[in-house]
Amino acid sequence: MLNGRTTPPGSLALTAYQRLHDEIVRGTLLPGQKLLIRELCKRYGIGLSPVREALNRLSGQRLVVHNEQRGFMVAPLSELDLEDILRARLWLNETGLRRSMEYGDNNWEERVVIACHRLSRTPRFWDEGSIEINPAWEEAHRLFHAALVSACGSAWLEGFCDQLFHAFERYRYLSRVAAATSPLHQNAEHAAIMDAAVSRKVEDAARLLQEHFDRTGRLVRKQLAGMISSAKNGTRNIAEITA
């Protein structure tokens, strides 16, 4: 029961999934942190079965690790995992973009243009000088990249692209790359990709998308390497960095 109302089990599982997903991606629940089901039930005011269902779903998305003896924990971060995400994200998004430019109609072009416009009009941070990202910008950013591949003709490919988007966001959040990235530069990159895509300049669009991913990837690599080095030296830990 939430807010005095009886909620269907499926809705409770979805609520638990969304809360857990957001807290993992945003670093509220830290890499390697144990996820005790009863504590999560108390935290969210949700029963055992919906929370367990949510954890199993997140395990399938590799945001949570499940061990029969040790239970559930937030998936750890690693340079190897980051490289894997970056490669897979580029491969799938480029394939989806190329296919969308080949098969997309006027409706697809309109989705891309509108998504880019909304992204450019949404403030990236809560306020000037803050490094806390505006959730509305996060969603607009996700929807823009989703729009680029939305005419590829494969629901599986779209789903994997979305999953990889969230997997990469977790690294970006924890490394606080947002603080080192210029919103104006990001807007220019998104606009350039949009222009090339709707103009059906296939090679230009693919190159610009790769450069966009590579640039952000370099920033995240640098931040993650510093985090890992500090943790190994005992001078800093992930909890301190993300506080």
DSSP string, 150-184: TTSS-HHHHHHHHHHHHHHHHHHHHHTGGGGS-HH
Q: Domain ranges in the chain?
A: 9-74, 79-242
Name the band, by pLDDT with cuts 50, 70 and 90, for residue 123: confident
Predicted local confidence at residue 2, as pLDDT = 43
What residues are paired with 34 via a beta bridge?
Answer: 73
Predicted local confidence at residue 4, as pLDDT = 40
Predicted local confidence at residue 154, as pLDDT = 98
> Residue 178 above 70 pLDDT?
no
CATH 3.20.20.70 is right for the domain spanning 79-242: no
Q: Which residue has the higher pLDDT, 219 or 148?
A: 148
Verdict on whether the full-model pTM lies above 0.85: no
63 with 21: CB under 8 angstroms?
yes
Q: What CATH class has 9-74?
A: mainly alpha
Can you tell me the mean pLDDT for 224-229?
A: 73
> Residue 241 above 90 pLDDT?
no
Model pLDDT for residues 78-101, shown as the tens digit of each residue? 889 999 999 999 999 999 999 999
> Residue 152 above 70 pLDDT?
yes
Token pair listed for 90: 């580029």
> Residue 5 above 70 pLDDT?
no
> Residue 33 above 90 pLDDT?
yes
